Structure 1
Amino acid sequence: MDGELWDLTDASGAPTGATFRRGGLDFPEGLFHIVASVCVMRGDGLVLMTRRAAVKDWPLYWEFPAGSALAGESSAEGAVRELEEEAGVRVGVDELELVGRVVERQALFDLYFARVSGDPVLQLDPEEVCESAWVPFAETLRRCDAGDMAGPWVPRLEQLGARLAQLIDARG
């Protein structure tokens, strides 16, 4: 959302003490903000994918729930908040397992994995998400290969997909 305030970090993720307002001009060169996402798996081994609302960048493309950590939030806290805001799924920070980090042009992207029991009732935020699906992880990779995932997800899954698959297989 325009106007969000983000903490700025160095390349290692250490806070610099500076902030940046989303939508502002001239993002500082050499600094980053944290973007976090959660791949949620139900007890039956299916993972949650969400489809971006038509009004967002990368409209109608698929992804895992994700967004920027707000000023004062840790990466994990931001991931938990975004998952709840976008899909209505609640997990605790202590239930997250870090899959890994991808260094992007202005963001440090952290992907987490979490398992939920049962079949959670989803409450999609229509400003963020227009559709959801519980799918086998292989379907996520197929959608990525087919060009159905939001563009930033292609390099993210290239770098983190094998590790995520290991976590899913180990807990499936």
Structure 2
Amino acid sequence: MTTAEDASAGAGDEWWDVLDDAGAPVGERFRRGDPGWPEGRYHLVVGVCPVRADGRVLVTRRAVSKDWPLDWEFPAGSALAGEDSPTAAARELQEETGLSVAHDDLVLLRRLVEPTAFFDVFTARVADPEVLDLEPSEVCDARWVDLDEVMRMRDAGDFADPWLPRLEVVLPMLDGVVVRTAPPVTG
């Protein structure tokens, strides 16, 4: 496997680069789902908080076949072998929602260190699509919400468990970037 395209090809195999504790590749690859994750090593995971012109953000609901079924999150997933963080973030966003962003549109909010992963959280301004193109094997629903609604969803336990500590760090960073409470609709 030499590229992200190669890594994702064939029989649904997904290959990850193995990273050291500084986030540098160690020259090894690991197939998702295989036993024996190397102790003290990491892989790269990315998440994107898409923001529309009106300041609302996109949250997606995990498909019933996924871990944490029907829970909410921001679009996210693992980087494939050979991908850098912005490439993986743009790919995951496009695959799950149909939204396309350029690397220059992605702003890294924070790299979080989790037990076996570095989790890079991005935000990106996106065009206001009339219709999202959700990938049903990944996402079963999506909503554009204000930041107050994200906090209500978190407090109600609607977000997937892995997102709870991530949101503690990321939500304050989004304040001022997104709308806290949507203005009333007139017309």
Instruction: Say yes or no: TM over 0.5.
Output: yes
Task: Give the root-mean-square deviation of aligned CA atoms.
Answer: 1.6
1:89·1:121 contact (CA, 8 Å) conserved in 2? Answer: no
* Alignment partner, residue 60 of structure 1: 70
Give the structure 2 partner of residue 12 of structure 1.
22
The Cα shift of 1:162 comes to: 0.8
Stretches of structure 2 lacking an aligned partner (at least 5 in a row): 1-7, 180-187
1:14 CA drift (Å): 1.1
CA distance in 2, matches of 1:103, 1:166: 24
Percent of aligned pairs with the same amino acid: 53
Displacement of 1:94:
1.2
What CA distance in whole angstroms lies between the structure 2 residues aligned with 1:70 and 1:49? 23
Count of aligned positions = 170
Deviation of 1:168 after TM superposition, in Å, equals 2.8
Range 149-158 or range 135-144, more displaced: 135-144
Matched-pair contact (CA < 8 Å) for 2:146–2:178: no
Tell me how far 1:160 sits from its aligned partner: 2.0
Pairing 1:139–2:146 present: no
> Which letter does structure 1 place at the counterpart of 2:124?
A
Partner in structure 1 of residue 99 of structure 2: 89
Q: Distance in 1 between matches of 2:24 and 2:130?
A: 35
Give the secondary-structure state (helix, strand or coil) at the position aligned to 2:87: helix
Residue 59 (structure 2) aligns with: 49
Structure 1 stretches of 4+ with a deviation exceeding 4 A read: none
Contact 1:56/1:128, CA 8 A, preserved across alignment? yes
Q: How does 1:1-172 map to 2 (within 5 A)?
A: 3-168=13-178
Q: Distance in 1 between matches of 2:148 and 2:24?
A: 34
The answer to whether the 8 A contact 2:29-2:81 is kept is yes
CA distance in structure 2 between the aligned counterparts of 1:54 and 1:67, rounded to whole angstroms: 16
* Structure whose alpha-carbon radius of gyration is higher: 2
Secondary structure of the 2:123 match is: strand
